[in-house]
Amino acid sequence: MHSEKDNGSPVSWNSKRFIKTHLQEVHEADLPQLTDAQLEDNDLFVCRECKDEIFVSLNRLNNHIKQKHKQSRSLNNIQLVEQYLFHDLRKNYDSHWQDGLLFLSQLELQPPTFRQPLTTKIKWRLEQNITETFTNIIELNNEALKEPDNNQHCTRQQFDPWPLLQLQILFEQIVLFPIPQNTSNQKAVNSTIHTRLRKFKQGRIRELYEESRLVISKSPLEQAQAPVQIQRSAQIAADLDNYKTANARLTKHAPVALINDSNLHVLHKLHPPSLDRGCNKPQPRTRSGGTRRKFRCSAQSVVQTLTHLNRGKATGIQCDSLDIYIKAARRIDFKNAKDLRKAQAIAEFFNKVINGDIPEPFKRYLRQTYLVALEKDP
């Protein structure tokens, strides 16, 4: 920040309003670099939700937050899913969301019984329908994470966001789970996924979940006994524009190292104890009230980052694969108002995750990732 000698006018630099105007007009791009404590030393207070808008008193900041950022929702969970997912089926189909949400509220999440969904296989109109439904789920989740209005006639369970967040987690698992090998016709595959998508929008979650659990991938031993041909594996990577991976699969020998009783002790030694760092939010640094510094990513930066990621890089489908987000981001045209709203919804959700503004069950779920070194020699 400038000293009083910068422009020879010590009276001006003693004015909070003058400093505020100067910062906003001359140093707008540098505001994110200033900490809340630095600003408060000059009796200035910042709202990190509004591109670092500055206030000359804490009361004004708190009033601004109350008016602009204390978002709430009046619609309960049933009303939200029927608005965001079931609305286009209302005239021709029955809603099963009452049972669907009950099932989700009682569900104990388990890893899927298969390794890879059909996310990288869908194209054209089917891809459009899938990604549009998925972005609707993201918008639904953003709305679900808002605090409920004070309504004495509603129970806490009717506004619990966790069942709705599970829709985003389970979407690929229960809509894009593999199809039996005897269904090889592409039209039949598309028809099957369209049917699953309709059932999902109706709220037939229990039915789809139970059906997906019937698909079981080969065990590591079975996979090693009948490995995928190198040429086919390389072609799959090339089809996903991962040419470096395709070249590596063709030119490098990387056999599968099986894990069994004879080498299990090696893995135990390689697996370090958990750091157990927790998911605690940073505490506000203002003197009383106000907002804490938040990470904020623009819709343009989030979409740009997603569109530059390689597809098909993760072997799992829950929280370690971004394929469905990549497909959704690549279909966004910022010149289109509807697509702009989708981009803003994706960015809003990622910002909530980055800042920890999500329920504890979802935090634990996102953190269930382990890095373990594996010995490659067979």
**pLDDT per residue as tens digits for the range 104-161:** 999 998 888 888 888 888 888 999 999 999 999 999 999 999 888 776 556 778 899 9
For residue 369 the two structure tokens come to 């990732």
- Residue 1 falls inside a structural domain: no
- Residue 154 falls inside a structural domain: yes
Question: What is the residue type of 27?
Answer: H
- Residue 309 falls inside a structural domain: yes
Backbone φ and ψ for 330, nearest 5 degrees, come out as -70, -15
Does residue 289 sit in the same domain as residue 163? yes
Does residue 117 sit in the same domain as residue 54? no
- Residue 198 falls inside a structural domain: yes
Q: Is the CB of residue 207 less than 8 Å from the CB of residue 199?
A: yes
Please tell me the pTM assigned to this model.
0.73
Q: Which domain holds residue 28?
A: 10-68
**Domain final residue, candidates 68, 98, 117:** 68
pLDDT at 93 (0 to 100): 95
Ranges of H-type helices in the chain: 10-13, 16-26, 36-40, 58-68, 77-84, 97-106, 124-144, 162-175, 186-202, 205-212, 220-225, 230-239, 243-251, 264-270, 299-307, 323-330, 337-354, 360-366
Does residue 25 sit in the same domain as residue 132? no
Kindly calculate the radius of gyration of the chain based on its CA atoms and give it in whole angstroms. Answer: 25
Does residue 145 sit in the same domain as residue 43? no
CA distance 194 to 200: 10
**Domain final residue, candidates 47, 68, 89:** 68
Q: Is the CB of residue 119 less than 8 Å from the CB of residue 67?
A: no
Does residue 281 sit in the same domain as residue 302? yes
Does residue 80 sit in the same domain as residue 207? yes
- Residue 202 falls inside a structural domain: yes
Backbone φ and ψ for 45, nearest 5 degrees, come out as -135, 140
Please give the DSSP secondary-structure letter assigned to residue 308: T
Please give the DSSP secondary-structure letter assigned to residue 149: P
**Domain final residue, candidates 26, 41, 68:** 68
Does residue 269 sit in the same domain as residue 164? yes
pLDDT at 340 (0 to 100): 93
- Residue 91 falls inside a structural domain: yes
Does residue 207 sit in the same domain as residue 323? yes
CA distance 45 to 287: 10
Residues of the chain with pLDDT under 50: 1, 3-6, 8-9, 11, 280-291, 378
Does residue 58 sit in the same domain as residue 101? no
Q: Which residues contact 316 (CB under 8 A, 6 or more apart)?
A: 111, 115
The secondary structure element, H or E, covering residue 46 is: strand 45-47
- How far is residue 259 from each of residues 48, 134, 221, 377, measured CA to CA in Å? 49, 36, 9, 11
Does residue 108 sit in the same domain as residue 167? yes
- Residue 83 falls inside a structural domain: yes
- Residue 221 falls inside a structural domain: no
Count of structural domains, the chain:
2
Does residue 58 sit in the same domain as residue 109? no
Alpha-carbon torsion angle 324, 330, 334, 338, nearest 10: -40
pLDDT at 252 (0 to 100): 80
- How far is residue 227 from each of residues 12, 223, 287, measured CA to CA in Å? 75, 5, 62
Does residue 51 sit in the same domain as residue 127? no
Residue holding tokens 């070194």? 373
